[in-house]
Structure 1
Amino acid sequence: MLKIYSFETLPSTQRWIEERIAQKKIEAPCAVIAQMQTDGVGSRENRWIGKRGNFFASVLLSEEMLPDDLPLGATSIYFAFLMKKTLENMGSEVWLKWPNDLYLKERKTGGCITAKKGGNLIVGIGINIVDAPHDFRVLDIKTEPMELLETFLKNLKNLPSWKQIFSNYSLEFEKSKNYCTHDGSETLQMSDAVLQNDGSLMIGKRRVVSLR
Structure 2
Amino acid sequence: MEIIFYDCLESTQSFLLNVLKNNLCVVALRQTKGIGSRGNQWDTVESGLYFSFCVEKKQLPCDLKIQSASIFFGFIFKEVLYEAGFDVWLKWPNDIYLKDAKIGGVLVNVKQDKVVCGIGLNFLSQSFGCLGEELERKEFLSLFFEKLKNTQEWKQIFSKYKIEFYKNLNFSFHDQDKVISLKKAFLLDDGSIDLCGKIIYSLR
Normalised TM-score (structure 1)? 0.91
**Distance change >3 Å, CA 10–CA 116, structure 1 → 2:** same
The equivalences for 1:1-212 within 5 A come to 2-21=1-20, 27-51=21-45, 53-131=47-125, 133=127, 136-211=128-203
- More strand per residue: 1 or 2? 2
Aligned to 1:24: none
Q: Deviations over 1:127-169 (max 9, x none)?
A: 0012253xx3211444122232222122122223111111100
Once the two structures are TM-superposed, the CA of residue 70 in structure 1 deviates from its matched residue by 0.4
Once the two structures are TM-superposed, the CA of residue 197 in structure 1 deviates from its matched residue by 1.0
* More off after superposition, 51-60 vs 160-169: 51-60
Normalised TM-score (structure 2)? 0.95
C-alpha distance in structure 2 between counterparts of 1:11 and 1:184, whole Å: 26
Q: Deviations over 1:36-87 (max 9, x none)?
A: 0111111111111213531000011111110000001100001000000010
Q: Helix, strand or coil: the match of 1:187?
A: strand
Identity among equivalent pairs (%): 37
Question: Which amino acid in the other structure matches residue 61 of structure 1?
Answer: V
Across the two proteins, how many residue pairs are aligned to each other?
204
Whether contact under 8 Å (1:92, 1:140) holds in the other structure is no
Q: Helix, strand or coil: the match of 1:178?
A: coil
RMSD over aligned Cα atoms: 1.4
C-alpha distance in structure 2 between counterparts of 1:109 and 1:132, whole Å: 12
Q: Deviations over 1:108-130 (max 9, x none)?
A: 00011111111111110000012
Q: Helix, strand or coil: the match of 2:80?
A: helix
Question: Which amino acid in the other structure matches residue 208 of structure 1?
Answer: I
C-alpha distance in structure 2 between counterparts of 1:176 and 1:208, whole Å: 15
C-alpha distance in structure 2 between counterparts of 1:206 and 1:183, whole Å: 12
- Alignment gaps of 5+ in structure 2: none
Q: Helix, strand or coil: the match of 2:47?
A: coil
Whether contact under 8 Å (1:91, 1:141) holds in the other structure is no
Whether contact under 8 Å (1:50, 1:131) holds in the other structure is no
**Distance change >3 Å, CA 186–CA 51, structure 1 → 2:** closer
Once the two structures are TM-superposed, the CA of residue 13 in structure 1 deviates from its matched residue by 0.3
